[in-house]
C-alpha cells in the first residue's frame, strides 16, 4: 500500500497542534493544510520504506540461516535422542 496520491479525496480531520508552531508555519505557507498533507505523505512513505527494508533484512537473514543450515546442519542434530 502506498501513501495517497494527489487525486485522493480530501476530508476534514481534527488535529491538535502547537499554536506557536502553527503561527510560525503560516508565515512560510499560504496553505497550511496542503503543507501538512505533503509532510504527512512524506512521513508515511518513509515509514513504508523502512518497513520494507526491515522485511528485506529479515528475509536475507532467514535465507542466510537456511543456507548455513543446508551446508552445516544443526548443532542439535548431534544431540538428538530420536
DSSP, residue by residue, 24-50: HHHTT-S-HHHHHHHHHHHHHHHHHHH
Q: What is the pLDDT of residue 74?
A: 85
Q: What is the pLDDT of residue 81?
A: 74
Q: What is the pLDDT of residue 5?
A: 65
Q: How many CA atoms lie within 13 A of 36 on its CB side?
A: 14
Residues in the chain with pLDDT < 70? 1-6
Rounded to 5°, the CA angle 55-60-71 comes to: 150
Q: What is the pLDDT of residue 63?
A: 98
Q: What is the pLDDT of residue 1?
A: 46
Q: What is the pLDDT of residue 75?
A: 79
Closest CA to 37 of 7, 65, 63, 57: 7
Amino acid at each position: 500500500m502506498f501513501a495517497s496520491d494527489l487525486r485522493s479525496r480530501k476530508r476534514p480531520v481534527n488535529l491538535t497542534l502547537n499554536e506557536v508552531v502553527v503561527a510560525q508555519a503560516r508565515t512560510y505557507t499560504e496553505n497550511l493544510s496542503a503543507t501538512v498533507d505533503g509532510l504527512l505523505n512524506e512521513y508515511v512513505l518513509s515509514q513504508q520504506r523502512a518497513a520494507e527494508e526491515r522485511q528485506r533484512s529479515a528475509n536475507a537473514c532467514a535465507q542466510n540461516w537456511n543456507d548455513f543450515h543446508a551446508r552445516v546442519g544443526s548443532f542439535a542434530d548431534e544431540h538428538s535422542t530420536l
